[in-house]
Amino acid sequence: MVMKIYFNGYLNETASEFVSYEARNLGNFDFAVNIPVTTFGLPEFYLEGAILTKAEGNTGKIVFSWVIKDEVTTPFVTKKRWDEILVDKTDADDFFPDSKQWNYTVSGTTGDNYTSRRLFTVASDTVYENFDTKTADGQMIALSEYFEKKGFSSAERHKFIIKDETLNKYIFFAEGTITRLSFQKAGTDPVTWNASLEFQLGDVVDSTDV
């Protein structure tokens, strides 16, 4: 069996993914379902007599870790440019206060490259830097920017997928949003990143849904 792990980003319920990343070096996968139950122990009875009441809904959470390292081919299956993701809303202040207009070069977010939405080149405060996503550093930068949900006004959502590629079937499939991304680099192995994410399962809503 060939098992592959992906997490994808979507602008809304109907759009195709704007980013799809294959996590190739599994560290740990933890899926937990929280089933809240209120327990009332009856006086003068042993524990078997307790009354259990379930009034709240269930929640699910994934904690996933993997190692980001240099690859021969990019782990990004899909990787759109920011002017495509934001539908040309890449003028000043679109990313953060006093941000500059986003421009990409011919070698920008095409092929294996990714043009940052926040990091400028060393020699300029107006030209955004691009990175090779076959490298560990390039993957870390792209992941940290692609999977940051902007806010309540956006309908961005994520999917977490474990797939048996041999039989072409899902082993695990979850929708929701990434609530935490962590990247750590150690002096004992400075060319890799130890990455982890927390993924909350559920139906993502935005300000237009309330």
Give the pLDDT score at 118: 92
Count the helix, strand and coil residues of the chain and give each as a percent rounded to the nearest 5: 10, 45, 45
Q: What is the pTM of this model?
A: 0.89
Per-residue pLDDT of the chain (210 residues; tens, 9 = 90+): 789 999 999 998 888 999 999 999 999 999 999 999 999 999 999 999 999 999 899 999 999 999 999 999 999 999 999 988 888 778 888 888 988 988 887 666 678 999 999 999 998 888 899 999 999 999 999 999 999 988 776 778 999 999 999 999 999 999 999 999 999 998 887 889 999 999 999 998 875 555
| pLDDT for position 6 | 96
Angle at CA 149, nearest 5°, toward 29 and 23? Answer: 30
Position 14 scores a pLDDT of 82
H helices within the chain, ranges in order?
A: 82-85, 136-146
pLDDT at res. 181: 97
Provide the pLDDT for residue 125: 87
Query: To 5 degrees, how large is the angle CA 82–CA 24–CA 111?
Result: 35
